[in-house]
Amino acid sequence: MNLVIVESPAKAKTIEKYLGPDFEVIASYGHVRDLVPKEGAVDTANGFAMKYQIIDRNEKHVQAIAKKLKGATALYLATDPDREGEAISWHLYELLKGRKQLGDRPVHRVVFNEITKRAVQEAVANPRELSYDLVNAQQARRALDYLVGFNLSPLLWKKIRRGLSAGRVQSPALRLICERENEIEAFVQQEYWTIEADAAKDAKSFSAKLTTFGGEKVEQFTITDEARATEVRQTLEQAANGKLKVEQVERKQRKRHPAPPFITSTLQQEAARKLGFTTQRTMRVAQQLYEGVDVGGGAVGLISYMRTDSVNLAQEAVEEIRAYVTERYGAVDLPDQPRLFKTKAKNAQEAHEAIRPTSILREPAVVKAHLTPEQFRLYELIWKRTLACQMAHALINQVAVDLSAGEGNLLRATGSIIAEPGFMRVYLEGRDDAKSADDDEERMLPEMQVGDLVDLLAIRPEQHFTEPPPRYSEASLVKELEEFGIGRPSTYASIISTLQDREYVILDKKRFSPTDVGRVVNKFLTEYFPAYVDYDFTARLEDELDAVSRGEEEWVPLLENFWKPFKELVDHTQENVKRSDVTQEKLDELCPKCGGPLSIRLGRNGRFIGCTNYPDCDYTRDLNADKAEAEAPEIVEGRVCPECGSPLEIKRGRYGKFIGCSAYPKCKHIEPLEKPEDTGVVCPTCQKGTLQKKKSRRGKIFYSCSTYPKCDYAVWDEPIAEPCPKCGWAVMTIKTTKTKGAAKVCPQKECGYREPLDQPETQEAES
């Protein structure tokens, strides 16, 4: 008997049926070892020797593996095909060898990018040795994260407040969010006007925008007030006298090509845009699809490996897709040659595949009955993107018409129509924070020729105001991290969750904004450790880790080059920077009570303005007091308090705006301003409402029934629509703790069912 080790029981169950009776598959439940959680786990004076210990919760799984190993003739390590998976295999190998449980059995490393019968059997038939280059790259990353965490975190405790921590990769991500917030606050709104005309020809109406006035090109700020806009409108109306003349007609046809198949970052971005999934939710569901789902006839992996930065597709997959396109849509929607895509990611692992269905023949509609709603939605997204990437380009006919309203005044009308949809029959990529360049697609103009006169119906001045740059969404933040080279496919989700868990940022209306503590931490790091939150520095470090994984660099010299200057800076900051230098920001304003200087300070409940002569002077005021005073309470139209009948108002509290009773403090009714995010999980108690994501008064996330107060069922952890295997309760929850990791847990306390979740990507999260 041959023993095969994988990370999770779901993966074990799926691949075991492909290997036959000579193989037994068992799970390690993720990593079995990690660094000793105390100072000195990385010995900087002794070649960065790393001290590991077994993870308590996985001791029983290691013992189960050792028991099975006694009757095995060979050991196959079949963990994920990346450096995290390589490290899991290495740790298990070292642990078993150290306990003298391997004996003289051969140990093989097997990797596959998809869990299908062909891929699994081919990998087992062609094993390789453990890659120590990949292992050392992971060790270097873990050591770097440990050294930063165990040296910067105590510094933050002393200089800001206890309980804070800093990490090597998420600190530049925090800087991105803080810098964007600074841009928004510094933004000065500007007014501008555009002039548009409503016109018609042959009973077909259309609109045109002023582009030239008085012989000069109209720019964004050519017209900046209503008086000038009115003057321009009157001039155009007089010059046109009810008619616009066609001066020029431009017709052209352009091609639009499909987006490449998904890599980790683009899957996370698109799932956020189109499905509203967080990065963690996307990766969790993708892991389920990869490890295997029973779609009739046994479990099968539905997608290829989901942590990848390669846009390559296997030749057999391309051939299958092309055959499917021909049969389903016809040869007209099939390009002459297969499409090849080039990755934009630096140091992409081209040996891996893009994220794709293991078979395009498994149509989403066919497998829908076997999937949870979130599994189906993500699978459908991946399936459509993969199919579309090998289809013909779309052809779009565009037309632009210049019309004159008197000498030197031109207006432009644009429109287009999709002549041949090609790949757009199946899929169109989403966009972030910008109006689509294809807003005019399918907007047709009437047929016009040079010299034609068209009816002028009206000229409309339109007022606009410039807008600040938008806060980052999960999608745009992942995109920015990727463009800067910060992090790698396995780390994007953990970077974002770490920032939220430490309460450095909050996600409001699906946009990130920094908390007061996050701002102070970022200010401290950018002022005193600028090199280590520099985007280029972080990206270069990632490049060096990739070079180690390819065997081009040694990992110990990399750590040596990092450690010495970093430690010197930590020591210097420890001795020379005072707490007040970090937590206070002096203002050019005097205290109205004692005349001393005022400063912005960090308190238990966030930043506030206080006197620097404290404790002799106790003057304080809210940081946003002036703004709050200027804003009169806004009445909620058409609604009254359900408890006392008084008008409801939009108020501002510690956690932002909310709806409250105007009779406060006599009546303390409050409710959220925004509709809570719906998980789609049906309430197990009333079976009528769904569980919604809400925030408690103390800012803690919980999930409660949408029919509240009729039904008061609530849970603290994220619910999933899966029944408990032990007691049959209709929902499970995902609970994550530092000691036990992530697990599916029955929310019924009397049940106590708990099933570990395999989340190997979190091992690259920072300490």
Please give the Cα distance from 682 to 696 (Å, whole number). 21
Distances (CA, A) of 470 to 319, 509, 661: 42, 12, 31
The first and second tokens of residue 102, run together, are 């391997």
Active site residue 655: no
Among 389, 395, 390, CA closest to 421 = 395
Q: What is the 3-state secondary structure (H, E, C) of 290-311?
A: HHCEECCCCEECCEECCCCCCC
Closest CA to 749 of 767, 765, 729: 729
Backbone angles phi, psi at 669, to 5 degrees: -65, 130
Would you say 303 and 343 are in contact if contact means Cβ atoms under 8 Å apart? no
79 and 85 Cβ atoms separated by less than 8 Å: yes
Q: Is the dihedral of CA 224, 226, 231, 235 positive or negative?
A: positive
Q: How far is CA 12 from CA 87, 266, 290, in A?
A: 18, 28, 12
C-alpha to C-alpha distance for 568 and 393, rounded to whole angstroms: 57
Identify each DSSP E strand in 39-170 by its residue range: 42-43, 49-50, 52-54, 74-77, 107-109
Distance CA 712, CA 289 (A): 33
CB atoms within 10 A of CB 593: 12
- Single out the catalytic residue among 305, 379, 472, 703: 305
CA gap 294, 559 in Å, rounded:
45
Closest CA to 19 of 1, 31, 7: 1
CB 305 within 8 A of CB 114: yes
- In three-state form (DSSP H/G/I as H, E/B as E, the rest C), the secondary structure along 359-422 is CCCCCHHHHHHHCCHHHHHHHHHHHHHHHHHCCCCEEEEEEEEEEECCCCCEEEEEEEEEEECH
The catalytic residue positions are 305
